[in-house]
Amino acid sequence: MVDVDISKSRVYVADDVSANRLLLDSILRRGGLTDVHLYGDGRQLLDAVADQEPDLILLDLRMPDIDGYEVLRQLEGRRAQASFLPVVVLTAESGQESRRVALETGANDYVTKPFDAAEVMLRVRNLLHTRALHETLRSQNVDLAGQVDDAREDLSKREREWEDVARSLADLEARATSEDTAHAICNELKRISGLASVVIVALDAAGRAVPLAVDGIRDARVMVNHALPQEPVERWLKKVGRDPWIGPWEQSLGTVLQRIPRETPTAVAIVPLNSSGGMLGVLAATTGVSDGVTYLSERLSVLRSFGAIASALLAPSIQERQRRGAIRAQLEDVLVTNSFTPVVQPIIELATDRVVGVEALTRFGDGTRPDRRFADASAVGLGIELETATLAAALSATAALPSDLWLSLNVSPDFLLDATRLQTVLARGGRRRLADSLSRERYHRRSGRSEHHGRWSSGGRSR
């Protein structure tokens, strides 16, 4: 996950009740926010937004002059294209109709008064994090557009003799998938007379080379989205750094860029796909003409231009693959090494000050917040596996507790719906009676959390 500093985020609070404004100001500042502005009515808020756009708005619905609904309507009309200005409605209006109208009019979240301070701060942090990521992505898209435009202009100036290629290259754009985009690039490059084969290869988080598209290769061992053999990959990666490499064909390259029927390659060009963060992969092309090295060298500017276009168009998807791969590797290590610890906190009956149960939670050895780790696991397809391991550890850690204490275990809705897995984990943890009852009990969902009525509950993942 990307770490975002939200401490300097600008937050506007609009509420006609002074006590409410002061309370929210105190909550936000205790939560680490330093740039908080308070307004007593909707008109003041709209004037402030017109002067300087904030990162988040906390808005009451019932205000004199201009109420919250009208503020939402005017904000929606003022929003620039592709902008994201999150608004959290904080109101005493608890009816479903008020909630529906507010959300339809542009609110991103809806919290009813009286509210829980911790919950408000969590919602604020989540939306500020989303806003920061949105602004980062928008900036990257602007840079990406500039890179693509620069590469197209450079190609147009330096390769007049390849006008047909330049025209087709200028029409290249990101497709639905990175594989489709890579295939379109390879297809256009292959149109240059004399090229025998073209391949675009991405590097994953582990440094493995994974083809995204191949054109002209006749080798069953080279398949899209299947990692190439590491030994030949290391050999040809050593040949290229930040700059392209052109040289005679070597048989050791055959596993990656196999000969095509009736023609043996004479030379190969390897063009790196680079970003500010390092190498993303390579674009490689072979030719079978007699003096292949000279032929490819004369067309190096064209190959560079295709490499620049490929880098610009494929960078977001390759970087996302690398990020997800790194996260998955971390999680696999957590699962293999059991780098987590179950902890319990008591559940106390207030009337008698007696401990009536415990809630089992999970803490990770590297200090990662549990909500973030479980979210990452779900995003890369390891959510159920991580929940299974942590739930089993929690059951083992609480096995010796007195039988008259409640045990609260937090799981996601997806895990709860996997009845077989859940029953197995509970049975192995000595909770067979509860596991057997799962097939008979009725479940309901409330506020996105599923709960079992009895001595066991399931809800959001452990925090």
Q: Backbone phi, then psi, for 397, in 5-degree steps?
A: -70, -25
Give pLDDT tens digits for 307-340. Answer: 888 888 888 888 888 888 888 888 999 999 999 9
pLDDT at 448: 41
At residue 444 the predicted structure's pLDDT band, cuts being 50, 70 and 90, is very low
By CB atoms closer than 10 A (0-12, 13-18, 19+), residue 167 is: exposed
- Full-model pTM: 0.50
Give pLDDT tens digits for 268-320. Answer: 899 999 887 788 889 988 888 888 999 999 888 888 888 888 888 888 888 88
389, HSE (Cβ side, Cα atoms, 13 Å): 19
Give pLDDT tens digits for 90-122. Answer: 988 888 998 999 999 889 999 998 888 998 999
CA distance 126 to 289: 58
Q: Pairing state of beta strands 449-451 and 444-446?
A: antiparallel
| Structural domains of the chain ordered from first start | 10-137 (3.40.50.2300), 159-319 (3.30.450.40), 338-451 (3.20.20.450)
Q: What average pLDDT does the structure give for the chain?
A: 80
Q: Is the pLDDT of residue 452 over 60?
A: no
Give pLDDT tens digits for 375-392. Answer: 888 888 888 899 889 988
Q: Is the pLDDT of residue 409 over 80?
A: yes
Give pLDDT tens digits for 152-177. Answer: 666 555 545 556 656 666 777 888 88
pLDDT at 403: 78
Which has more confidence, 206 or 391? 391
Identify the CA nearest to 199 among candidates 270, 104, 292.
Answer: 270
CA distance 433 to 4: 45
At residue 431 the predicted structure's pLDDT band, cuts being 50, 70 and 90, is low
Lowest mean pLDDT among 143-147, 200-204, 353-357, 397-401: 143-147
Q: Is the pLDDT of residue 256 over 60?
A: no
CA distance 439 to 422: 11
Give pLDDT tens digits for 56-96. Answer: 999 999 998 899 999 999 998 877 655 789 999 998 888 89
Q: Is the pLDDT of residue 456 over 70?
A: no
